[in-house]
Amino acid sequence: MNIFFIGDVVGKPGRKLFTRLLPELVDELEADLVVANVENAAGGFGMSRQIYDQLVGLGVDVMTTGNHVWDRRDFIGEIGDCPRLIRPDNYADGVPGRGWAVVETDCGPAAVANLAGRVYMPPVDCPFLSADRFLAEIDPDVRVILVDLHAEATSEKEALGYYLDGRVTALVGTHTHVPTADEKILPKGTAYISDVGMTGPSHSVIGVKIEPVLRKFITGMPNRFETAGGPVELNGVLIECDSETGKASSIKRVHREAEK
């Protein structure tokens, strides 16, 4: 099974490039499962039902999120009607939505789970114990399991990677919007990368206009952030795995650029 995971899609520029490139990349990479992090897809902050429907029509199998999933308040009441979209599993009990999903592919079933980190992040339950819980809930016949850990600290991501090594097919990091060069197969067969990076404006501060960010750092005063323009890049990873054992055999970064 070939799993294509696309890093944080940021605003309209990220969506446009993602929409344009995805069909050809699916063919080129022979992707059997397509997963994208979309927590910044609506104007750079949050998600909407309209965008969800567009991405389903584009062929995205599962959409993961993170700490910005609730930034658009109307989506809180809509997430229950979006079965292909998941939010971090380690949110408190009673939070709308769900933290993992199982989908059928031509190579068999695959599970996708979402977790949020706790270091330098909003308060959530323990991602390590939450992972134990959803792994116990997923049907043991589902051998391919991808985890998106939306977290700030590399140490937390690496620790969870080794904690889940051999129990999941892949653990991919999101949230920082900056791709890392540490993709590898861990000793027990789990593919790992600390951060996939973003699909959004290249000349920006993690996707947003530069000047307001500079003003905030220099003055300490709050500023309104907006998605940047200009050249756009797509970042993702292609993970090859055995659908019978769930073990990963390779993980490769995918990077594409466009003028706009």
Would you please indicate which residues are annotated as catalytic (active-site) residues?
Answer: 68
Print burial letters for 200-209: b (CB count within 10 Å at least 16), e (below 16).
Answer: bbeebbbbbb
Residue 57 burial (C-beta neighbours within 10 Å; 0-12, 13-18, 19+) = exposed
Euclidean distance between CA atoms 8 and 212, whole angstroms: 21
Quickly tell me which residue has 């389903």 as its tokens. Answer: 56
3-state secondary structure at position 191: strand
Kindly state the tokens that stand for 216. 């905030």
Residue 159 CB contacts under 8 Å (≥ 6 apart), including other chains:
none
In the chain, the N- to C-terminal Cα span, in Å, equals 32
